[in-house]
Amino acid sequence: MEIKVAKFGGTSLACAETFRKVKAIIEKDPSRCFVVVSAPGKRSAADHKITDLLYACHSRVCQGGGYDDLFALIGDRYRSIAAALGLNLDLDGLLDEIHQRLPYEQHPDYAASRGEFLNAILLAAFLGYEFVDAAGLIRFNEQGFLDLAATEELIEAKLKPGMCAVVPGFYGTLPDGSIKTFPRGGSDITGALVARGVKASVYENWTDVSGFFMVDPRLVDDPKLISLITYKELRELAYNGANVLHEAAIYPVSEIGIPINIRNTDCPDHPGTMIVKTIADLESREVTGIAGQKGFVVIQVEKALMHSEMGFVRRLLSILEELRISFSHMPSGIDMVSLVIHKAELNGKLDQVLHLIRERLNPDKVEVIDEIALIATVGLGIANRYGIAARLFTALAQEKINVRMIDQGASGINLIVGVESGDFEQAVKAIYQAFVS
């Protein structure tokens, strides 16, 4: 029997009207037997996301303040959905329990997780599906990292073929039983884990767009939609700033080859974007997508004969490890190595990094380039065809954009250019125009 896992994002479950759309989608295909949900999102630009309100309640608790006004907004949202759908459940009892427990929780994760918890209970009642709490399915280890083996085992044991269930996204439990959440947007990861655990034929990720665009629609008007993309390409794009799907949601399904299908709750007949392991027709592929981000700093370290000095790069990277800074890229030359780090990662520690580099590595020169934007042009064709880099750099040159850094990542399918942050939008547009056919 075919099993599909359908994950619905916050905008797809923000109000009674969207709940009805979700029900129609589920009922259209009986193989959609496992559903994973986010917390209610915004109904309009001025609205609140329930998860944000829950985090705000926790902050108020920490500051010793009251949170009843915020909690009332949360309660009202769920009550209005339940009332409009005519659901018969003890919502007040559930809300009271959460309200009372909030002041006793030191970490924000319990509060944050309740958005998905309540939404899953509501949707399960509306669909006539079973509610299965993610607390008993998703396991983290003592260090707070996902325990994939234990999670897989629990899902296999509890979500049996023939069942129809709704599972809240975003959270699981630590070995001591306390609630732990994934990073923001993490319900995508829960969906992927459930798809893996039940061996789904496809992981459907229902959102408010008809798939993955070739470039961010905020940067280019009406960009082309990608109908087919590989996990590898998507991972490169997601890592480099494209956000439709949480990047950590790819591995659990890609490892065992379950395709991901991004779909639009508002256009349920649109086939969306299919994310697969391999594409047979490589001939037709060149650039699949373009993504980018501003706010990087490049630290260039230069030292004559660096390449013959054993352990130079190890010592350089150990400085970052010591300061708990993660770098994004590390292009290198014979006597030069650059560290490309996002400002949010550096978190004010740049001077400390420079001081330790000078002290421990005795470089000839250390230079910092501030305010760099990285643009990743991704496609299987980049590794397999000639002329793509030439088109990309010609497009940038025609716009008189100065390229400050080039890195064709180790995967070979990702050509990254660093430009000044001020040139970012124009550079993305120029690259897109060079490859859109």
Nearer of residues 113 and 254 to ligand ASP, judged by Cβ: 113
Task: Find the binding residues for ligand ASP in span 139-168 (CB under 6 A).
Answer: none
| Least distance between ligand ASP and beta carbon 205 (Å) | 11
Per DSSP, 274 falls in state E
Q: Which CB sits closer to ligand ASP, 238 or 380?
A: 238
Binding residue for ligand ASP, selected from 20, 107, 184, 358, defined by CB under 6 A:
184
User: Taking the complex as a whole, how short is the minimal distance between the CB of residue 291 and ligand ASP, in angstroms?
Assistant: 20
With CB under 6 A as the rule, give the number of residues binding ligand ASP: 13
User: Smallest distance from the beta carbon of 357 to ligand ASP, in angstroms?
Assistant: 36
339-351 CB burial, b ≥16 within 10 A, e <16: bbbbeebbeebbe
Q: For ligand ASP, which is the closer residue by CB, 51 or 240?
A: 51
Structure tokens belonging to residue 309: 């000095």
Q: Is 243 in the site for ligand ASP (CB under 6 A)?
A: no
Q: Which is it for strands 4-8 and 202-207: parallel, antiparallel or unpaired?
A: parallel
Site string for ligand ASP, 20-49 (x = CB under 6 A): ------------------xx---------x
For ligand ASP, the closer of residues 8 and 424 by Cβ is 8
> Is residue 75 a contact point for ligand ASP (CB under 6 A)?
no
What does the alpha-carbon distance between residue 131 and residue 129 come to, in Å, rounded to a whole number? 7
Closest CA to 354 of 345, 365, 196, 343: 365
Smallest separation (angstroms) from ligand ASP to the CB of 434? 34
**For ligand ASP, which residue of 11, 151, 187, 261 counts as binding (CB under 6 A)?**
187
Rounded to the nearest whole angstrom, what is the least distance from the CB of residue 49 to ligand ASP in the complex? 6
- Tokens in use for 310? 């054993």
Minimum distance from residue 90 beta carbon to ligand ASP (Å): 23
Coil, strand or helix: which one is 365? strand
Q: Which is nearer to ligand ASP, 169 or 272 (CB)?
A: 169
Q: Are 38 and 14 in contact (CB under 8 A)?
A: no
| Strand ordering across the sheet containing 228-230 | 130-131, 165-168, 32-37, 4-8, 202-207, 260-264, 273-276, 228-230
- Give the residue with the Cβ less far from ligand ASP, 113 or 288: 113
**Which amino acid belongs to residue 77?**
R
* Residue 10 within binding range of ligand ASP, rule CB under 6 A: yes
Helix (H, G, I), strand (E, B) or coil at 108: coil
Amino acid at 96: D
CB of 204 to ligand ASP, least distance (A): 15
Q: Give the whole-angstrom CA distance, residue 397 versus residue 391.
A: 10
Span from 80-88, 180-188, 263-271, 420-428 in contact with ligand ASP (CB under 6 A): 180-188
- Span interacting with ligand ASP, options 181-189, 291-299, 368-376, 394-402, rule CB under 6 A: 181-189
| Residue in 186, 331, 363, 381 binding ligand ASP, rule: CB under 6 A | 186
- Tokens 């299987």, residue located: 380
67, 129, 170, 424: residue in contact with ligand ASP (rule CB under 6 A):
170
Q: How far is CA 163 from CA 4, 160, 179, in A?
A: 12, 6, 25
What three-state secondary structure class fits 119? helix
Q: Which is nearer to ligand ASP, 118 or 382 (CB)?
A: 118
CA 375 – CA 358 distance, rounded (Å): 30
Q: Exposed, middle or buried, 327 (CB in 10 Å: 0-12/13-18/19+)?
A: middle
Exactly one of 75, 108, 168, 169 binds ligand ASP (CB under 6 A); that residue is 169
Beta bridge partners, 204, equal 6, 261
Closest CB to ligand ASP among residues 169, 418: 169
> By CB under 6 A, which span of 23-31, 87-95, 182-190, 399-407 interacts with ligand ASP?
182-190
Closer residue to ligand ASP in complex, CB, 243/394: 243
Q: Which of 75, 108, 185, 363 binds ligand ASP (CB under 6 A)?
A: 185
The C-alpha angle 338, 344, 350, rounded to 5 degrees, equals 50
- Reference 206, options 21, 3, 16; nearest CA is 21
Instruction: Kindly give, in sequence order, each residue whose CB lies less than 8 Å from that of residue 164, ignoring residues fewer than 6 positions away.
Output: 33, 34, 127, 128, 129, 130
* Per-residue contact flags (x/-) with ligand ASP for residues 92 to 121, judged by CB under 6 A: -----------------------x------
Give the chain's length: 437
Give the interface with ligand ASP as residue ranges (CB under 6 A): 10, 38-39, 49, 51, 115, 169-170, 184-188
